[in-house]
Amino acid sequence: MKTNIINKPDMKLAANRQKDATVFSYLNLDKFDAIKSLVKGLKYFIKTYGCQANVRDEETMRGLLENAGYLPTENVENADLIIINTCAVRENAEDKVYGEIGNIKYLRKHNKNLILAICGCMVEEPEILQRLLDVYKEVNLFFGTHEISELYSLLYTCLTKQERVIAVESKPGEVIEGLPVCRNNSFKAFVNVMYGCDKFCTYCIVPYTRGKERSRRFVDVIRECQTLVDSGYQEITLLGQNVNAYGKDLNEGKDFADLLEEVAKLGIPRLRFTTSHPWDFSSKMIDVIAKYDNIMKFIHLPVQSGNDEILRKMGRRYNREQYLALVKEMRRKIPSLTLSTDIIVGFPNESEEEFLDTVSLVDEVKYEAAFTFIYSPRKGTPAARLKDNVPYEVKSQRFIELVKHLEKHIEEYSNSLLGKVYPVLVDGPSKNNPDLLSGYTESNKIVHFKGSKDLIGKIINVRINESHTYSLLGEIVDE
């Protein structure tokens, strides 16, 4: 099959950050009418890995596909278009994708017209893309995070020519408004407030895969949130790699605190946001969170390490003392606050003492939730070029040790909820036991309880009867 290279990624271009104004752009409708007649009634299947940004991208792709006439299918074997939406943040996320493609590539033998596509963060990394191109000859479309709005013309090429299409342009990126959306959930929604990341933490691939920090206009975010409120949504999560940077690239005189306040005033029952970099988390933001009952008192505040030297090598822009001061201010102004974090153990050459600083920080902050990762070198990032003297077994041991400390605090927090009643937004049947329902407290704890399926999408009161470290068991009460 002929290869049609529209663009290939380049890490140097991907790292380019000129102080250009944010560019606003539109959906490429070039081939929209042409593909409508070609795809009517065809079925698509999307499998998404990784973070909420990818989940939200899937919703946009579903919107685009369904507008053109594609129908969704849950059965990958029936699909005429399969899209694997990938994550490159750690090697294990990458390995899952290799496994998935391995499992489905045979489908092209049965259906020569099948379009098998890979998109998302993995294809943005030149060496990963090359490996995918070399090993998975069955895959006939590769597109990057910046090409979602080009989907119609890319599909048109695949549908009309026997070509393998590669469209991955490394660029700062635009803000594209007016994209259709087909949401995965009818009562909880993600709303992008900004895209990309300019922090360039030395271990992280995201600034290369998702481009420069760029904000949506204030009115566009508010309009999307208002539509959700009007259609009865119960929860909105404002999304960005670092929402605190919202507005810095626009000349609107608005920051994230202003945006959060304005969305809270729309009256959505539950408002969340993620993720926040500690470096530009302002006091103004803390005050807004404290002021509005419908802003959930739950903050995800990745610390990554508790040691100043490691934080410096990670390029995190804060030290331990500054992070702890921020936590102190948050806990003082928001007494019911629950805090969650991300931590990386085994950054190159991390010493035992440096690791123990992370343990002591965990014991000081007493997080209510946490995600812990073993450092995974990402090609093209500065940290991946460092020689590392820490054996993997040592990193694993440290990981186990750290999780022990985190779990002690998480368990204490879970136990403190026993016997009390909390509002829970009912999510759906419990994943492990279909006889139970599951939902989340305002503090983002999952609770399982008995109840009617009619309650899905509603906020109800639940008394907590049993606590397990990561989940709770309860019963509905009429209060």
Q: Give the interface with ligand 5AD as residue ranges (CB under 6 A).
A: 89-90, 203-204, 302, 304, 342, 344, 373, 375-376, 378
Rounded to an integer, what distance in angstroms lies between the CA atom of residue 208 and that of residue 13? 9
Quick one: 95 exposed, middle or buried, by C-beta within 10 A (0-12, 13-18, 19+)? exposed
- DSSP code, position 318: -
Near ligand SF4 by CB under 6 A: residue from 270, 277, 313, 448: 277
C-beta of residue 118 within 8 angstroms of C-beta of residue 104: no
Near ligand SF4 by CB under 6 A: residue from 98, 200, 292, 373: 200
Nearer to ligand 5AD, 308 or 342 (CB): 342
Q: Tell me the sheet residues that pair with 238.
A: 191, 273
Rounded to an integer, what distance in angstroms lies between the CA atom of residue 68 and that of residue 79? 16
Site string for ligand SF4, 237-276 (x = CB under 6 A): ----xx----------------------------------
Near ligand SF4 by CB under 6 A: residue from 207, 269, 380, 457: 207
Instruction: Output the residue with the shortest Cβ distance to ligand 5AD.
Output: 342
- In the complex, the smallest distance separating the C-beta of residue 62 from ligand 5AD, rounded to whole angstroms, is 24
- In the complex, the smallest distance separating the C-beta of residue 65 from ligand SF4, rounded to whole angstroms, is 28
Near ligand SF4 by CB under 6 A: residue from 17, 108, 199, 458: 199
Q: Tell me the sheet residues that pair with 237.
A: 190, 272
147: alpha, beta or left? (left if phi > 0; alpha if psi -120 to 50): alpha
- In the complex, the smallest distance separating the C-beta of residue 383 from ligand 5AD, rounded to whole angstroms, is 7
Rounded to an integer, what distance in angstroms lies between the CA atom of residue 310 and that of residue 357? 10
Rounded to an integer, what distance in angstroms lies between the CA atom of residue 56 and that of residue 210? 14
Nearer to ligand 5AD, 254 or 312 (CB): 312
Nearer to ligand SF4, 89 or 119 (CB): 89
Nearer to ligand 5AD, 89 or 390 (CB): 89
Rounded to an integer, what distance in angstroms lies between the CA atom of residue 153 and that of residue 150? 6
Nearer to ligand 5AD, 206 or 464 (CB): 206
Taking CB under 6 A as the binding criterion, the range among 9-17, 203-211, 454-462, 464-472 that sits at the site for ligand SF4 is: 203-211
C-beta of residue 269 within 8 angstroms of C-beta of residue 224: no
C-beta of residue 427 within 8 angstroms of C-beta of residue 438: yes
Nearer to ligand 5AD, 151 or 301 (CB): 301
Rounded to an integer, what distance in angstroms lies between the CA atom of residue 15 and that of residue 410? 38
Taking CB under 6 A as the binding criterion, the range among 195-203, 226-234, 437-445, 467-475 that sits at the site for ligand SF4 is: 195-203
Residue entry with tokens 């489908």: 107
Helix (H, G, I), strand (E, B) or coil at 211: coil
Choose from ligand SF4, ligand 5AD, none: what does 90 bind? Cβ within 5-8 Å by kind. Answer: ligand 5AD
Distances (CA, A) of 175 to 24, 168, 193: 5, 17, 10
Nearer to ligand 5AD, 133 or 193 (CB): 193
Q: Which residues bind ligand SF4 (CB under 6 A)?
A: 197, 199-201, 204, 206-207, 241-242, 277
